[in-house]
Amino acid sequence: MNGASLIELESSLRAKDEHLVLKRDADMARCTTLHLGGPADLMASPSNAEQIQLLLMEAHRLNVPVTIIGNGSNLLVKDGGIRGLVIRVCRDMQAIEVSGDRIRVQAGAMMSTLSMAAADCHLGGLTFASGIPGTVGGGAYMNAGAYGGEMSQVVTLVEGFNMVGEPFRYGRPDMRFAHRYSRLMKENKLITHVTVQLPQGKREELLAEMVEFNRRRAEKQPLTQFSAGSTFKRPPEGYASQMVDECGLKGYTIGGAQVSEKHAGFLVNRGGTAADFLALMGYVQRVVYEQKGVMLEPEVRILGEDAPVARA
């Protein structure tokens, strides 16, 4: 990709849809819960599926690379930022449609919003999602879950586009859900809508369960600090947080990145850089491997480029 392609892409998009929200040199640190990362060349915040299809088709035509993000709650953007086009499916795509025991929701709606909307309609099955800080699209993409529940239990249909703007519709079996996994993580497709089917419930009981789950989360997790949630995937045997804790790494710090003193499975940003965070991740992986014989795999999604080295 060259700069001319990016300029042509922006010009073409503005000409074809004057309502499409575009921003040059978007600050990625403002778009992630870690509050880290350099700028994105061009960011689009679409409000409907038609705008998303336009973005994908035009970027493909001009050979501009595309990166898809949601609320940025499971994301580490490197200090050099992201080249090309970033499509942020978040606050401008939150519509929710309820029909009996089914809810069709735009991918940018927050998991907590969907959980509350379901409870208000006396529908259960989503109380586990009340404290998950990501979008519904991101939740379906990675089969998010907590407290014994996960998206694979309720999702019936996922709709979206591939990277050239061709539509797809996947039912639950098509998604090939597994623990924190769906086929979309390998196929690199963009979700626009998710449909869930939910069991009946009593609003008061569902709300009480949500309050209890959120109380437990606040008690155990560093919710007042900048993080990307659980940094490492659960290994085949045991728990990543327990292994990190047993290796004596709670509170260990590199630069402005720290292993949380409250929950060893969380690495938090205390005013550092993405390079600090990556260095701490690598150190934790190395120590756990040396002491436990287990190589922890990142659960956080890492995007972008390292900052250029300053010349003397």
How many CB atoms within 10 Å of residue 96?
16
Q: What percent of the chain has pLDDT over 90?
A: 94
pLDDT value at residue 312 = 36
Check whether residue 81 and residue 59 sit in a common domain: yes
pLDDT value at residue 308 = 78
Band of pLDDT at residue 78, cut at 50, 70 and 90: very high
- Say if CB 114 and CB 96 are below 8 A apart: yes
Kindly report the backbone phi and psi dihedral angles of residue 241, in degrees, each rounded to the nearest multiple of 5, phi listed first: -60, -40
The boundaries of the domain holding residue 35 are 3-88
132 within a domain of the structure (yes/no): yes
310 within a domain of the structure (yes/no): no
Q: Among 60, 88, 116, give the residue marking a domain's end.
A: 88
Catalytic positions, please?
Answer: 180, 230, 299
Q: Among 88, 115, 139, give the residue marking a domain's end.
A: 88
Q: How far apart are CA 38 and CA 283, in angstroms?
A: 23
Mean pLDDT of the chain: 95
Check whether residue 137 and residue 77 sit in a common domain: no
Residue 144, domain CATH: 3.30.465.10
Is 1 a residue whose pLDDT tops 70?
no
198 within a domain of the structure (yes/no): yes
Mean pLDDT of 256-283: 97
Residue 230 parent element (H or E): strand 226-230
Tens-digit pLDDT profile for residues 24-56: 999 999 999 999 999 999 999 999 999 999 999
Check whether residue 76 and residue 38 sit in a common domain: yes
What helix, strand, coil percent values describe the chain, rounded to 5? 35, 30, 40
211 within a domain of the structure (yes/no): no
- Say if CB 72 and CB 269 are below 8 A apart: no
Tens-digit pLDDT profile for residues 204-237: 999 999 999 999 999 999 999 999 999 999 998 8
Mean pLDDT of 187-199: 96
Does the predicted model carry a pTM greater than 0.85?
yes
| Residue type for position 116 | M
Q: How many domains does the chain have?
A: 3
Q: Is 76 left (phi over 0), alpha (psi -120 to 50) or beta?
A: beta
